[in-house]
Amino acid sequence: MRQYPFLLKNLFLSVLLVAFCTPAFAQKSIKMTFGKSGVINYDAKQKTIAVSQSGKIIFSGAKASVIVNGKTISVNDYPEAVFAKEAISDDLGKGLKYTLTYKDKSKATLIQSFYIYNNQDYFITQLEILGNGQQIATNYIAPLDLGKIAFDKIENLHTVFVPYDNDAFISYNSKKLDTIAHNNSAEVGIIFNNTSRNGFIVGSLEHTIWKSAVKTINQNKAASFSAWAGYSEKENTRDSIAHGIVKGDKVASPKFFVGYYSDWRNGMEQYAKTNRIVEKPYVFAWDKPTPVGWNSWGVLMEKINFENTTKVADFFGDSVPEFRVGNTAYIDLDSFWDNMVKGGFTGDFSKLKEFADYCKKKGLEPGAYWAPFTDWGWKDGPNRKAEGSDYTFGEMWTKTGNTYFDFDGARAIDPTHPGTLKRVDYVINKLKECGFKMIKIDFLGHAAAESTSFYDQNVTTGMQAYKVGMEHLVNALDGKMLIYAAISPNMATSRYAHVRRIACDAWKTIEQTQYTLNSVNYGWWQTYSYDYIDADHVVFADVTEGENRARLISSVITGTLITGDDYSKDGIWSKRAKEWLQNKELLKIVENGVAFRPLEGNTGKLTTEVFEQKIGNNWYIAVLNYSNMPKNYALPLQRLGVKNGNYKLQDVFTGQNSEVKNNSIILSLGSKDARLFKIVNR
Whether residue 157 sits in one domain with residue 81? yes
At 196-209, the pLDDT tens digits run 999 999 999 999 99
**Dihedral pair phi/psi, residue 404, rounded to 5°:** -135, 170
* Under 8 Å between Cβ of 232 and 241: yes
Task: Give dist(CA 611, CA 336) in Å, integer.
Answer: 36
Q: Which of 632, 625, 559, 548 is nearest to 589 (CA)?
A: 559
The stretch 453-458 carries a mean pLDDT of 97
Whether residue 240 sits in one domain with residue 113? yes
Asked whether residue 89 is assigned to any structural domain, the reply reads yes
pLDDT of residue 349: 97
Query: Residue 424: which CATH number?
Result: 3.20.20.70
* Under 8 Å between Cβ of 486 and 440: yes
- Please check the confidence at residue 26 and state whether its pLDDT lies above 50: no
The more confident residue out of 395 and 4 is 395
Bridge partners of 331?
Answer: 294, 366
Whether residue 199 sits in one domain with residue 123? yes
Task: Give dist(CA 365, CA 562) in Å, integer.
Answer: 13
- The C-alpha R_g of the chain, in whole angstroms, comes to 27
Task: Give dist(CA 601, CA 308) in Å, integer.
Answer: 43
pLDDT of residue 27: 56
Exposure string for 543-556, b = 16+ CB within 10 A, e = fewer: beebbbbbbbbbbb
Share the mean pLDDT of the chain.
Answer: 94
pLDDT band at 133 (very low <50, low <70, confident <90, very high): confident
- Please check the confidence at residue 659 and state whether its pLDDT lies above 90: no
Q: Quote the domain boundaries for residue 130.
A: 21-278
Burial of 18 (0-12, 13-18, 19+ CB in 10 A): exposed
Bridge partners of 413?
Answer: 397
Domain count for the chain = 3
* Under 8 Å between Cβ of 13 and 74: no
Asked whether residue 565 is assigned to any structural domain, the reply reads no
pLDDT of residue 428: 98
Task: Give dist(CA 178, CA 467) in Å, integer.
Answer: 38
Whether residue 255 sits in one domain with residue 341? no
Whether residue 67 sits in one domain with residue 160? yes
What's the residue count for the chain?
Answer: 682
The more confident residue out of 132 and 473 is 473
pLDDT of residue 601: 98
Per cent of the chain over pLDDT 90 is 92
Asked whether residue 320 is assigned to any structural domain, the reply reads no
Whether residue 269 sits in one domain with residue 341? no
pLDDT of residue 11: 40
Asked whether residue 211 is assigned to any structural domain, the reply reads yes
3-state helix, strand, coil in the chain (%, to 5): 25, 35, 40
Task: Give dist(CA 617, CA 604) in Å, integer.
Answer: 32
Whether residue 335 sits in one domain with residue 228? no
Query: Residue 45: which CATH number?
Result: 2.70.98.10
Domain boundary among 473, 501, 529: 501
| pTM given for the model | 0.94
For 270-329, give the secondary structure using H, E and C: HHHHHHHHHCCCCCCCCCCCCCEEEEHHHCCHHHCCHHHHHHHHHHHHHHCCCCCCCCCC
The more confident residue out of 105 and 554 is 554
Task: Give dist(CA 157, CA 180) in Å, integer.
Answer: 11
Per cent of the chain over pLDDT 70 is 96
Burial of 15 (0-12, 13-18, 19+ CB in 10 A): exposed
DSSP character at residue 6 = H
Asked whether residue 600 is assigned to any structural domain, the reply reads no
* Under 8 Å between Cβ of 236 and 171: no
Q: Is the dihedral of CA 187, 191, 197, 202 positive or negative?
A: negative
- Please check the confidence at residue 310 and state whether its pLDDT lies above 80: yes
Domain boundary among 470, 485, 501: 501
Domain boundary among 446, 479, 501: 501
pLDDT of residue 7: 37
Query: Residue 668: which CATH number?
Result: 2.60.40.1180
Task: Give dist(CA 144, CA 204) in Å, integer.
Answer: 12
Whether residue 198 sits in one domain with residue 60? yes
pLDDT of residue 67: 96
At 572-593, the pLDDT tens digits run 999 999 999 999 999 999 999 9
* Under 8 Å between Cβ of 76 and 60: no
Q: What DSSP string describes 110-167?
A: EEEEEEEETT-SEEEEEEEEE-TTS-EEESEEEEEEEEEE-SS-GGG-EEEE--SBS-
Asked whether residue 219 is assigned to any structural domain, the reply reads yes
Whether residue 342 sits in one domain with residue 264? no
Whether residue 358 sits in one domain with residue 252? no
Alpha-carbon separation of residue 122 from 258, 261, 525 (angstroms): 6, 9, 17
- Please check the confidence at residue 6 and state whether its pLDDT lies above 70: no
Whether residue 156 sits in one domain with residue 258? yes
Alpha-carbon separation of residue 481 from 234, 420, 435, 436, 501 (angstroms): 33, 20, 9, 7, 17
Helices 584-592 and 545-556, packing angle to 10 deg: 30
Q: Which of 119, 111, 47 is nearest to 84 (CA)?
A: 111
Task: Give dist(CA 58, CA 639) in Å, integer.
Answer: 24
- Please check the confidence at residue 3 and state whether its pLDDT lies above 70: no
Burial of 339 (0-12, 13-18, 19+ CB in 10 A): middle
Whether residue 333 sits in one domain with residue 260? no
Asked whether residue 543 is assigned to any structural domain, the reply reads no
Task: Give dist(CA 669, CA 182) in Å, integer.
Answer: 38
Kindly provide the residue ranges of all beta strands, DSSP E only, lying in 401-454, ordered along the sequence. Answer: 403-404, 406-407, 410-412, 438-441
Exposure string for 617-638, b = 16+ CB within 10 A, e = fewer: eebbbbbbbbeeeebeeebebe
Give the distance, in angstroms, between the CA of residue 661 and the centroid of all CA atoms in the same chain: 38
Asked whether residue 314 is assigned to any structural domain, the reply reads no
Task: Give dist(CA 154, CA 69) in Å, integer.
Answer: 37
